[in-house]
Structure 1
């Protein structure tokens, strides 16, 4: 189990929650240098897709620096996971 200490709160990203999803989306936005942050509004994502978002987050964190084309591919994947 991996715990994160964020803003004075211990978070366990293994547990799907709106709070965890918001954190993941915020981090993806920063790491992918997303200009249009409206695509990262947590209300536009279904909690049932949490595992997909978490996997994307873990890959981006593990990879570190991404090329522009890799970042764009992740952004496109985020769009595909959003609610329609």
Structure 2
């Protein structure tokens, strides 16, 4: 998938991929449509970081979820 263009579809793809990779129990509460294209670069940074790792500690997951929460809306 080409994520070089800031589109709403790319935002939604990245959020869904993040939720899947983190196996987020609260994933249902984090709707991809709640994220604005205006936060694209921040979301892409989180996506790239998550994509580069295989495992996450509980504190890392909590920090990522917290950051995503700040980017919502």
Provide the TM-score with structure 1 as the length reference: 0.79
Bigger Rg, which one? 1
Runs of 4+ in 1 over 6 A off after TM superposition: none
Aligned length: 73
Once the two structures are TM-superposed, the CA of residue 39 in structure 1 deviates from its matched residue by 3.9
- Structure having the higher strand fraction is 1
Where structure 2 has 5 or more consecutive residues not aligned to the other structure, the ranges are none
Cα distance in 2 between the residues matched to 1:39 and 1:48 = 21
Runs of 5+ unmatched residues, structure 1:
1-10
Scaled by the length of structure 2, what TM-score is found? Answer: 0.89
Distance in 2, matches of 1:77 and 1:18, equals 19
Whichever structure has more helix as a proportion of its residues is: 2
